[in-house]
Chains A and B, each alone.
Chain A
Amino acid sequence: MPTLQNPAGQLADVVSRLYDLAGNSQVPPAQEQALWLQAHDLRGDLVALVAMQFSQNTTAYTAAMTSLDKVTAALDQAQQDITKAIGVVTGAGQLAKSLDDLLKEAAQAAATV
């Protein structure tokens, strides 16, 4: 059965960039804390995701990949203009929800095997 791309590689990059942004001295304190919290949560998801294999392009999988692309784009924008860090906070929150759904789906699939 063909294996789909594991989101872990892109997620690891996002997490590293979230930490980097959280440590940027120009980011307002409220956003800094939000970014740090999101980086922490997503790092936890990463531990679960790394060893998984995805073979079905389910709704949860597609949503997670779309969220990853969106937050990556938001990080690119924030890199150009630090005032846009708030867009990263919003995008990372959506990503966390998508990954929760994906992990639940994967756990259910594993339980039925």
Chain B
Amino acid sequence: MLKEVKRLGLAWLSGCWLCGCTTVSVYQTPVADFQKAVNTANDSIRPYLLGVNNLIAEANLYDKVGMGKDWGTEDLHAGIPPEEIQVRLQALSTIASYANALGAVANSTDVAQLGQAAQGLGDDVNGLNTTIQGLAAKRTARAGQGASANQAATLDLSGPVSSLVTLVGTLVIEGKQKAALEAAILNGDKPVAQLIELLRSDLRALALVDDASYGSIQTGMVKLYNDARGKTDPKSLIALIDDFVQKNNSIQTLRALQVDSLLSDMENAHAALVTFAKSRKGPKDLSDLAAQIDVFTAHVKLFADAIASVQSAINASK
């Protein structure tokens, strides 16, 4: 811990010595760490979102096994409309783009690069805004398909996105890096935090759907393995039990993952970045920021490792 504080203090002093305390250099490492963690977290969340409907379909098929009914095409229909998944993916991209823009601003040396970073953020924000505007009509069109279809997993991001549209429309990048970076962090603070918070609550809700799907799959597996047991000779039963336990472990691991907590840590790390921007930027401020970003980074790594272990167990059993 002491070593870490010394290291941060040295980094801060080096920043002062090289460029003066008012330069942007003190931001570079924490912003780069935040940017990397946001991108890695999003890489874990994207397949999760894209997999929600697959999991619903898989559970439908297991349900039919349990109910003793034939499978039908209705079992494969998407539980959550694709456009509702799309808006979440775009919101994640916007958050990543914001983090990437911060990183680019912290590292760039000329106005053109800063402008390019702002442009990337602007494109994502405007793209998300267009999708949100188109969603209203699609939701109305779904209204005729019954209560469930109309209401499935709707998410309203219009508040923060509207603020971000205003921000990217009015953001003027000044020649001084520090001023540009601080403006981006401070002005993007509230809408980005709101966006993360809305996604966090939403992911918590979607996790309930996933958990119910896993409940079906787990019970379905018990039934199928029971059926398989009746056709297995005693010697092969050990392999069957091993296989069953391994599959069950994978499901338990996936059920235990709390994807929304990744966004809680992202929210905290983002808030710490803003607090740092407003602080006197002393060694203590920098170590507080680094600690918060380290928590986020460690959590992202744990999550990615858990997914990788399940994936490797699945591959090994094939």
State in angstroms the CA–CA spacing of A40 and B75 once bound together. Answer: 11
The verdict on A107 contacting B212 (CB below 8 Å), with A23-B222, A23-B223, A51-B155 known, is no
Flag whether B126 is at the interface (Cβ < 8 A).
no
The 8 Å CB contact of B147, one of A9, A32, A106, is A106
Flag whether B257 is at the interface (Cβ < 8 A).
no
Let me know if A15 and B212 touch, CB within 8 A: yes
B59-94: contact bitstring with A at CB < 8 Å (1 yes, 0 no)? 110010011100000000001100000000000000
Taking residues whose C-beta sits less than 8 angstroms from the other chain, chain B's interface range is 20 to 34
Let me know if B151 and A107 touch, CB within 8 A: yes
Binds B, one of A42-50, A63-71, A78-86, A90-98: A42-50
Interface residues of A, count at CB 8 A = 34
Let me know if B147 and A15 touch, CB within 8 A: no
State in angstroms the CA–CA spacing of A15 and B212 once bound together. Answer: 6
Let me know if B152 and A47 touch, CB within 8 A: yes
B88 CB to nearest A CB, Å:
11
A64 CB to nearest B CB, Å:
13
A1-29: contact bitstring with B at CB < 8 Å (1 yes, 0 no)? 00000101101100110111011000000
The 8 Å CB contact of B153, one of A20, A32, A47, is A47
Across-interface contacts of B206 in A (CB, < 8 A): 50
State in angstroms the CA–CA spacing of A105 and B185 once bound together. Answer: 43
Interface SS of chain B = helix
Interface SS of chain A = helix
Let me know if B63 and A106 touch, CB within 8 A: no
Let me know if B205 and A36 touch, CB within 8 A: no
The 8 Å CB contact of A20, one of B143, B205, B219, is B219
State in angstroms the CA–CA spacing of A106 and B149 once bound together. Answer: 12
* A–B complex contacts, Cβ < 8 Å, 18 sampled: A8-B208, A12-B212, A15-B212, A19-B215, A19-B218, A19-B219, A36-B63, A39-B215, A43-B63, A44-B79, A44-B148, A48-B149, A49-B151, A51-B151, A51-B153, A103-B148, A106-B147, A107-B150
Binding site for A on B (CB under 8 A): 56, 59-60, 63, 66-68, 79-80, 143, 146-155, 202, 205-206, 208-209, 211-213, 215-216, 218-219, 222-223
Known A22-B66, A51-B155; further 16 A-B contacts with Cβ < 8 A: A8-B205, A19-B219, A33-B66, A36-B67, A37-B67, A39-B215, A40-B67, A40-B216, A44-B148, A46-B212, A49-B151, A50-B153, A50-B206, A52-B151, A103-B147, A106-B151
